[in-house]
């Protein structure tokens, strides 16, 4: 049975923030404090994705909320970079149980 939704992602995959805190600055850029105490300033495109994530969101809902401003390919690159910096995690909900 195919468990892929119309966006091409498994319907159980979620993106979740893994930071200590964050805020949107007056210039609409997001500044994040990692769980290790490092500060990261996100550029406008990354800030758009970050704000759409909120605390936790399914990949399908995230994709829908940032299109057409962020393409699927660009979104994957952004998510990969945020994961590598340990600012977010991406997991299948079933694996979290």
Give the model confidence (pLDDT) of 12-45 as tens digits: 899 999 999 999 999 999 999 999 899 999 999 9
**pTM for this model (two decimals):** 0.83
Best CA proximity match to 13, nearest among 70, 75, 71? 75
Nearby residues of 1 by Cβ (< 8 Å), 6 or more positions away: none
Q: Give me the percent of the chain exceeding a pLDDT of 90.
A: 79
Secondary structure of residue 48 in the 3-state scheme: helix
Break the chain into its structural domains and give their ranges.
Answer: 13-87
Query: Under CATH, what is the fold of the domain 13-87?
Result: Outer Surface Protein A; domain 3 (3.90.930)
């Amino acid at each position: 049975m195919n468990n892929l939704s119309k966006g091409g992602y498994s319907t159980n995959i979620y993106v979740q923030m893994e930071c200590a805190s964050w805020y949107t600055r007056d210039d609409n850029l997001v500044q994040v404090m990692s769980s290790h105490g490092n500060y990261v300033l996100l550029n406008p495109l990354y800030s758009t994705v970050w704000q759409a994530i909120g605390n936790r969101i399914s990949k399908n809902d995230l994709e829908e909320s940032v299109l057409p401003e962020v393409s699927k390919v660009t979104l994957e690159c952004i998510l990969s970079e945020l994961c590598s910096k340990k600012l977010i995690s991406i997991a299948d909900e079933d694996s979290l149980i």
